[in-house]
């Protein structure tokens, strides 16, 4: 899942973070989300993605908590995503 976030009028910069959702391999049957390089499918060349972040850049980004908030909403409330995961 890639997510593009806008930094707002003052910064005029979008960025894209990516996450993988699925088994974590730790014995927990529930899926989890982990940060990965954004646009792993090669779509990151489009200007609409803004700054395409590598995993390390995403981990250090000052708005990472907002990225996880949106991921949580999608995983909890999107019926198609939930049906695929559970």
Q: Provide the domain limits for residue 15.
A: 2-85
Q: What is the DSSP letter of 44?
A: G
Q: How confident is the model at residue 5 (pLDDT cuts 50, 70, 90)?
A: confident
Backbone angles phi, psi at 20, to 5 degrees: -105, 135
In angstroms, the CA 53 to CA 35 distance is 10
The pLDDT score that the predictor gives to residue 7 is 64
The pLDDT score that the predictor gives to residue 11 is 54
In angstroms, the CA 59 to CA 10 distance is 23
**Residue 8 CA: distances (Å) to CA of 12, 14, 63, 73, 83:** 6, 8, 12, 21, 33
Q: What is the pTM of this model?
A: 0.79
Number of domains in the chain: 1
Per residue in 14-72, pLDDT (tens digit) is 889 999 998 888 888 888 899 999 999 888 888 888 889 999 999 999 889 999 999 99
The pLDDT score that the predictor gives to residue 45 is 87
């Amino acid at each position: 899942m890639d997510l593009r976030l806008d930094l707002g009028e003052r910064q005029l910069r979008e960025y894209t973070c990516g996450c993988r959702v699925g088994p974590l391999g730790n014995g927990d049957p529930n899926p989890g989300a982990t940060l990965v390089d954004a646009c792993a499918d090669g779509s990151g060349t489009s200007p609409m993605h803004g700054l395409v972040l590598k995993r390390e850049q995403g981990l250090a980004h000052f708005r990472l908590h907002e990225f996880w908030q949106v991921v949580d909403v999608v995983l909890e409330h999107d019926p198609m995503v939930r049906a695929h995961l559970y």
